[in-house]
């Protein structure tokens, strides 16, 4: 995503934040909202990755981690990063049965990747490599800062809109307050979608190049979509503004390419990866073997 487009999208979120502030408290409310938004942008630049990881319940995998599987996972991520020409990111695990993953951090030198225990427990080692290569592609494309800051501001817009119901009645009236409460978060979500959906295809493509086999990621996406439908990611449900950061929608698992989807249709992503595999001369048999394995390293 170009720098100009990213700036415009983040500016749109900030303007929306100020508009809600104006509707609640007039010029004074807008001024306060501007100051808060500016402070949030600065704070998010340095700390949003830590906030996101904490809110998602992520635990770091250290070199002396007790689990050999987790150490192997971290080593695989480091090798993928080396292949991509990136510094090794910090590696985290989230305790939830839903298979999913995301990346965060303001730049490649301060990046972190996180995978759920459901992902590590239900995908093969090759499929996990495809997923983590996708997340490293976000790091390399410098999407992670935009994703993280957007999540922070969008969440704040939702909170501010809720305040409107209690503190904005005098200025906007009950109907106006209800409209703010409904449409402000919806508008913020639309901006998130504009940022998120355009990034995923590019990250899929670059991730496939990093891991060397587009079909590993295609196979992983199929399993992730099924798993997202079958299980609930509690931390993501509590913080829906961060849903766009995951490789697949952690809230519903729906794959439809529609106005209110934070992710492109999984079927469309898989088809693009299969076309890429054909262009690279990768056989479909290469991806079939991992699917027959019971677990990531079993």
Instruction: Please identify every residue annotated as catalytic.
Output: 135
Tell me the HSE value of 46 on the side-chain side, using a 13 A CA sphere.
Answer: 4
Q: How far is CA 115 from CA 77, 98, 133, in A?
A: 11, 10, 12
- Residues 6+ positions from 57 with CB-CB distance below 8 Å: 94, 95, 96, 235
* C-alpha atoms less than 13 angstroms from C-alpha of 195 in its C-beta half-sphere: 34
Question: How many residues in total does the chain contain?
Answer: 298
CB 116 within 8 A of CB 93: yes
Question: b/e map of 103-118 (b: 16 or more CB within 10 Å)?
Answer: bbbbebebbbbbbbbb
Q: Write phi, then psi, for 91 (nearest 5 degrees).
A: -115, 130
- DSSP for 72-118, please give it: HHHHHHHHHHHHHT-PPPEEEEE--SS--EEEE-SSGGG-EEEEEHH
274, two tokens: 């299969």
Residue 276: how many other CB atoms lie within 10 Å: 19
Contact status, residue 115 vs residue 95, Cβ threshold 8 Å: no
Nearest to 259 by CA among 177, 167, 192: 192
């Amino acid at each position: 995503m170009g720098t100009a487009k990213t700036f415009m999208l983040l500016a749109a979120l900030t303007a929306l934040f100020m508009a809600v502030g104006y509707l609640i408290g007039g010029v004074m409310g807008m001024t306060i909202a501007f100051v808060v938004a500016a402070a949030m942008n600065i704070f998010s630049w340095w700390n949003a990755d830590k906030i996101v990881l904490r809110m998602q319940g992520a635990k770091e995998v250290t070199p002396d981690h007790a689990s050999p599987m987790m150490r192997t996972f971290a080593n695989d991520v480091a090798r993928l990063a080396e292949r991509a020409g990136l510094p090794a990111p910090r590696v985290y695990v989230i305790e939830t049965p839903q298979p999913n993953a995301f990346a965060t951090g303001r730049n490649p030198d301060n990046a972190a990747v996180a995978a759920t225990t459901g992902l590590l427990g239900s995908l093969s080692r090759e499929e996990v490599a495809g997923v983590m290569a996708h997340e490293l592609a976000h790091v390399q494309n410098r999407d992670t800062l935009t994703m993280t800051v957007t999540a922070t501001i969008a969440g704040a817009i939702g909170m501010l809109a809720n305040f409107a119901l209690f503190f904005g009645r005098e200025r906007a009236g009950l109907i106006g307050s209800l409209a703010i409460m409904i449409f402000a978060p919806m508008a913020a979500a639309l901006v998130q979608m504009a940022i998120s959906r355009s990034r995923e295809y590019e990250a899929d493509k670059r991730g496939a190049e990093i891991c060397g086999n587009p079909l590993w990621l295609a196979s992983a996406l199929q399993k992730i979509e099924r798993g997202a439908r079958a299980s609930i990611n509690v931390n993501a449900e509590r913080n829906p503004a961060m849903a766009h950061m995951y490789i697949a929608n952690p809230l519903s698992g729906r794959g439809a390419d529609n106005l209110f989807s934070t992710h492109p249709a999984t079927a469309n992503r898989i088809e693009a990866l299969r076309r890429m595999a054909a262009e690279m001369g990768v056989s479909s048999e290469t991806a079939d073997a991992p699917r027959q394995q019971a677990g990531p390293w079993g």
